[in-house]
Amino acid sequence: MRFVWIFRVFFISVFLNGTCGDRGNLKKFWKPCFVGDQIENTCTDPSNSCHGKSDKQFKLVRLEGVKTGHVQWLEVDDGRKPVKLITRAMTPLVLVVISLYVEIPDFLSEEECDHIITLAKESGLQTSTSGYFTYDGDLDEELALADSDWTLAPEQAFAGNYSLWDANGDGSIDAQEVKAFAGKHKQLYLDDEEVQEMVKHLQINDELRDGRIKEQFFNKLNINKIMRYMNFLKDKSPRHRFRFSQQAWLRQDKTADPVLRRLHERVIRLTKLPRRIVQGGEPMQVLRYEKFGHYHGHLDSTIKDPTVPCCHQNHLRAPDCRVCRFITILYYLNNVEEGGETAFLIADNTTTTPDEIENSKAATNEFNLSINCHSANLVLPPMKGTAIMWYNNFIDPDSGLLGAVDRSTYHGGCDVIKGEKWIANNWLTAPTKYSKHIKSMFDTGFD
Ligand SMILES: *[C@@H]1O[C@H](CO)[C@@H](O)[C@H](O)[C@H]1NC(C)=O
Ligand SMILES: *[C@@H]1O[C@H](CO)[C@@H](O)[C@H](O)[C@H]1NC(C)=O
Ligand SMILES: *[C@@H]1O[C@H](CO)[C@@H](O)[C@H](O)[C@H]1NC(C)=O
């Protein structure tokens, strides 16, 4: 559970730091959006800039999921041939509630994909912040501390025990045994290259001249330094972090690039949602994953009390808000040489439940797609131009607006093994029954 909580916090922090900028005219809001009826009393004055038009017909829709593998056709743009929508409809234990994934090959043309990548590069990519860890440690500074102090902290004392390293007891430690030690005693999973890099960096390659560390050398080694190195990798190095990618945000409003605006119209056709909803979506996020890049299993919407305001409508920046992303559309912008799949941990599996995944003792591993990519129930390899779309929330049956989070949408990006991976995300945020009349902060004028 703790693990799940960590990424809930993570989402909010990313959202607030990353995209809730200084928007809107605060003076015009006469009541804060906090909870429940307070939200309902916010922005009700039509002259307020945070007020959204709320005609009675305003409702969310979900595409009809007919059955797994069902194919529909969609006219994307006038003059372009229709594209295929392949739906996977989920009819799990509760028949009324249907989860839905849609796969759309050729939703973007090759040129459009390349163009979006170029725009992202031009706008500058930044390393995605990940939870509590930022990649700002200095390894050499850290290691220098160990030069003057070889003492192992009590909880690391075991590392001074030669026989824990020499697993096969043959009187020497080889690279495989270093790997095994890190995995077993530090839960740090290194590959051969990383072991080589470590012995080089720590300058113990002399002892390893014949690929082995004998006990007499071991006794002369600064084990504290080795432990610091391993701890650093665990906490700070991209490969071992929860998320490893770089990102850029691209606007899609009226001043935006024509390709992105055209795509915006296409999304309206695809989702059949009111224009206002699509306009209120977040700017397009473009992500680049290098080798080992990944994003472990997570949800795109926050699970929180429904009376907590949605972040995209949090004009007064209440300290507590939740991410209300009704739909995710993920675009694959390139073909990846190897790896980089999008994995849905549960998808349409009727026997695995979200409870099981969240509460399982092995939760950390279930969510760790570096290990468990291929045991996920739906694994979609990157294919340039393909879009995948899913609904993170159900529709509230009373109001027709944003309902509960669908926890069968746990998903993430598997490790890129070879090459690099480029994707883009459109997150279509939506109001709840409490906040129907509040404009999305991202709705900055499209027409
Ligand atoms: C070192 O590890 C071995 C193998 O696990 C164990 O039998 C031994 O008691 C340990 N020695 C010390 C001093 O902790
Ligand atoms: C996930 O597994 C990989 C490979 O085993 C490991 O290196 C990494 O530290 C793990 N990450 C987390 C967040 O548990
Ligand atoms: C559902 O997932 C579980 C665990 O991943 C697996 O053992 C089971 O075979 C899956 N069932 C179906 C119908 O796919």
pTM reported for the whole predicted model: 0.72
Instruction: Compute the CA torsion angle 113, 125, 295, 364 (nearest 10 deg).
Output: 180
List Cβ<8 Å contacts ≥24 apart for 320-325: 321/12, 321/15, 321/16, 322/12, 323/11, 323/12, 323/15, 323/429, 324/393, 324/402, 324/429, 324/430, 324/431, 324/432, 325/282, 325/300, 325/301, 325/392, 325/393, 325/427, 325/428, 325/429
For 206-240, b where at least 16 C-beta lie within 10 A, e where not — what string? ebbeeebbeeeebeeebbbbbbbbbebbbebbbbb
What pLDDT does 28 receive? 30
Ligand 3 atom closest to 375 (CA): 5
Query: Which of 156, 158, 161, 181 has the most ligand 1 atoms within 8 A of CB, as the residue to mutate?
Result: 161
What is the distance in A from the centroid of ligand 3 to the CA of 410? 15
Give the pLDDT score at 315: 84
The set of protein residues with a Cβ atom below 6 angstroms from ligand 2 is 189, 240, 242, 296, 364, 368, 370-371
Please give the pLDDT value at position 163.
94
For residue 10, the model assigns a pLDDT of 38
CA distance 68 to 71: 9
**pLDDT band of 128, cuts 50, 70, 90:** low
254 neighbors 445 (Cβ within 8 angstroms): yes
| Nearest alpha carbon, ligand 2 atom 9 | 240
Looking at residues 383-393, what average pLDDT do you find?
95
Task: State yes or no: pLDDT of 89 exceeds 70.
Answer: no
Beta bridge partners of 355: none
pLDDT score of 360: 63
Q: Which residues contact 299 (CB under 8 A, 6 or more apart)?
A: 7, 11, 392, 405, 407, 409, 410
Determine which residue's CA is closest to atom 13 belonging to ligand 1: 161
Atom 3 of ligand 2, nearest CA residue: 370
- Per-residue pLDDT at 148 exceeds 50: yes
Q: How far apart are CA 401 and CA 370, in angstroms?
A: 36
- Note the ligand closest to the C-alpha atom of 158: 1
Q: What's the rounded mean pLDDT across residues 279-288?
A: 94
- The pLDDT, as a whole number, for residue 206 is 62
pLDDT surpassing 60 at residue 13: no
Question: Chain-wide mean pLDDT for the chain?
Answer: 81
The CB density around residue 140, as the number of other CB atoms within 10 Å, is 7
User: Would you state the structure tokens that stand for residue 164, as one six-digit string?
Assistant: 């824990």
- pLDDT greater than 90 at residue 118: yes
Residue 178 has pLDDT above 70, yes or no: yes
What the chain holds in terms of domains, given with CATH numbers, is 70-125+242-429 (2.60.120.620), 151-221 (1.10.238.10)
Task: Give dist(CA 444, CA 262) in Å, integer.
Answer: 17
pLDDT at res. 98: 53
- The answer on pLDDT for 362 being more than 70 is no
Task: Tell whether the model's pLDDT for residue 16 goes beyond 60.
Answer: no
Distance (Å, whole) CA 188 – CA 182: 5
Tens digits of per-residue pLDDT, 284-320?
A: 999 999 888 899 888 999 998 888 889 999 887 777 8
Q: What distance, in Å, lies between the first and last C-alpha atoms of the chain?
A: 44
Ligand whose nearest atom lies closest to the CA of 160: 1
**Ligand 3 site: residues with CB under 6 angstroms?**
349-352, 377
Torsions phi, psi of 71, nearest 5? -110, 130
The per-residue pLDDT for range 325-351, each reduced to its tens digit, is 999 999 999 999 999 999 999 887 777
Ligand 1: residues with CB < 6 A are 161, 163-164
Compute the distance between CA of residue 435 and CA of residue 36 in angstroms, rounded to an integer. Answer: 9
State mean pLDDT over 379-385: 95
